[in-house]
Structure 1
């Protein structure tokens, strides 16, 4: 390596800007490392905040008290428990007492000591969070805690129930079912249409102004705000075709419109990565263009196509704005039974919970984000696994 020396400026290899370029390179390296450290720190803080806030939601407070299954309780659920517990027991749970007696007639006339779901304020008080309890209710809870009549149990309701006006009774079941149905519709429409479009543009279409215009529009569609797809879905699927509002069918088709450009672009990139020697070898054997594409090019490009499609699906699962426009943010306590019934999705459900005044929704929102992140990470991991498994070395 030739060293710079100010004493020998007559050296033909002397570069007066070399030291300055070295300093610029060092500054650039410092900036990039700082940005990387800042990004990792922000991600770590975000995950720590979500985990610390969301973990308590997977446990809920239960009270061990006597429940009387009488005819009076069947007509008035408040009669099922002692009056002193009326402000510390979940009213949503008490409303299920008449249903329990209808499903289990042998309970009628019995008094059973059982674990009962506590009110959300009691739950927050036991967990050491912000609460609104009167002094006598706090004293009752403290006495029950001292005698082991209170326990934090795993919250099955978080996965078994849908949305509810009672924070302690709200769950993600309806949102999870709605998300699954919506994503099924999305992939059934977006995947075949997107892949076939990519095959046509990459393998069969001529390079003319028409195809160039299509390519420009596809690239532009991949970059526009997602809320515009919601407006498009509202105008076409609901106003024009009259499909049911808030249904997984409309939500899936709307997300399919948003996912199509991503699948097309990624599929074209996968097809373009297949060496031309594969095509030329097929033509040399007398195969037609369709046979070469179907039997040779497409199988080799399939890992990349599948990876791009799964990543597009993961992105669609996290979208909220287009689904708000078509009404999938409504209060849906029951899971939809078909793609035509009203439904909501996990991002929209979390958006609703984040705006609720009750403090228990804070931890439920964080727990829901943890569940959503787990699903998204799983989908991305699946994409990486499939790419590695089916990847062909040329």
Structure 2
């Protein structure tokens, strides 16, 4: 009997050690699973951001050309200065600079016009139209090179590529090399990408119109979704009786948060455009649609923030003689405001990245200007990305990546704002 008891104790101890070793091994494997998952997620994020950055950073480098153009009185009529071909004047002036002469068919001028943006000709037109006295003088004009010429300077079009596989021939590449050697072509930061709106010419396209459209749309969304969502959440959480109807409302709010966004686009098309006649493709209708989409998220986030306030706050306020309304709006809601603001900002950031509902209400149209009012035609950053990615010109693809970078920076700023608001006002109980 004395030998059996120690034997069982030894067996029990060895069994416990074996189980403890297995448990530690499982915990170690679980930790490595988590680290591997984080590493894979970060690797995919790095690949995504790296791909976007490598494709889009060249957009922020702008190549511009300077030319001195003689406004020939024989070709520009002072009575009607708009009738002259200023693009041809610019092309011929640059041909002269590289030591080339045009033939009777104008073939060389046609090739040069493929390298020079028509923005230079438009600037000449504006100067002569505003001051006809400039006719007969030599004017200095500056403008961007064509998109294909810029791609050559950026190294995306190689001379070693077979001529039938690139848009620019050897003669045009020789002209670009001569112009760069003469200092007629300069490079710098592409500020025009942020100061111009969409264009059919890639070198003239910018994101200003999309940025303004996004801001106006978010203004409408925030004005409607945040106060309505917060007040609805306050009523449901603090004042509404707990019965079958409120339970049904809560279930429907949770279901609406999971509805595909394109359904809200169809709703906006049917209600706001076809029934209420809100202007199509405007920040107003876009903001209304996104406000409907953001409402469930704002309500859910606000209710969660209200639930996080300790019941003792309510009891203390009521014990001091405060009414139910005073308790909620003077004590509970201010303490829940960090969570409320965080939920509101995150819902707006999510709305900013939506594309599908906006496509349904016509915001996919080409809009070359900057919207000046809520009812003007406009586009937004996600839709601008969609439009440029579907364009056939190669230079639009790098602008697609650049617009994605701008959109990501916009959303990162909004998320950082949510984090700062929470940390600034958060209280721990």
Q: TM-score range by the shorter chain?
A: over 0.9
CA distance in 1, matches of 2:17, 2:279: 72
Unaligned runs of 5+ in 2: 1-6, 96-111, 158-165
Give 1:121's aligned residue. Answer: 148
2:330 matched to 1:328?
no
Match of 2:30 among 28, 42, 45: 28
Per-residue CA shift, 1:321-353, capped at 9, x if unaligned?
Answer: 110111111100001111111111000001111
Task: Name the residue aligned to 1:216.
Answer: 251
TM-aligned CA deviation for residue 309 of structure 1: 0.4
Distance in 2 between the 1:361 and 1:283 partners?
62
Contact 1:63 1:116 in 2 (8 A): yes
- Aligned-pair CA distance for 1:109: 3.1
| 1:237 and 2:239 matched | no
TM-fit CA distance, 1:15: 7.8
Q: C-alpha separation between the residues in 1 aligned to 2:336 and 2:368?
A: 43
Select which of 99, 114, 129 maps to 1:102: 129
CA distance in 2, matches of 1:107, 1:389: 61
Give yes or no for contact 1:80–1:97 (8 Å, CA) kept in 2. Answer: no
Counterparts of 1:95 and 1:310 in 2: how far apart (Å)?
A: 43
**Partners of 2:151 and 2:332 in 1: how far apart?**
59
Alpha-carbon contact 2:197-2:206 (below 8 Å) kept:
yes
Aligned residue for 1:240, secondary structure, equals coil
Find the aligned partners of 2:364 and 2:320 in 1 and give their Cα distance.
57
Alpha-carbon distance in 1 for matches of 2:295, 2:313: 27
Alpha-carbon separation, structure 2, partners of 1:352 and 1:256: 24
Residue in structure 2 matching 1:77, options 86, 99, 104:
86
Aligned counterpart in structure 2 of residue 91 of structure 1, from 118, 131, 135:
118
Unmatched segments (≥5 aa) in structure 1: none
2:46 match: secondary structure: helix
- Number of residue-to-residue matches in the alignment: 390
Task: Give 1:225's aligned residue.
Answer: 260
Alignment of 1:1-394 (within 5 A): 8-11=10-13, 14=16, 18-69=20-71, 71=76, 74-75=82-83, 76-83=85-92, 84=95, 85-105=112-132, 107-130=134-157, 132-394=167-429
Moved more, 51-60 or 174-183: 51-60
SS at match of 2:274: helix
Give 1:393 deviation, angstroms. 4.1
Secondary structure in 2 aligned to 1:61? strand
Bigger Rg, structure 1 or 2: 2
| TM-score (ref. length: structure 2) | 0.86
**Partner Cα separation in structure 2 for residue 88 and residue 12 of structure 1:** 83
Over aligned residues, Cα RMSD in angstroms? 2.1
Name the counterpart of 2:102.
Answer: none
Query: Do the aligned residues in 1 keep the contact of 2:124 with 2:141 (CA within 8 Å)?
Result: no
Write the distance in 1 (CA, Å) between the matches of 2:115 and 2:369. 26
Classify the secondary structure of the residue corresponding to 1:337: coil
Displacement after TM superposition at 1:242 (Å): 1.4
Asked whether the equivalents of residues 342 and 418 of structure 2 are also in contact (C-alpha less than 8 Å), the reply is yes
SS at match of 1:189: helix
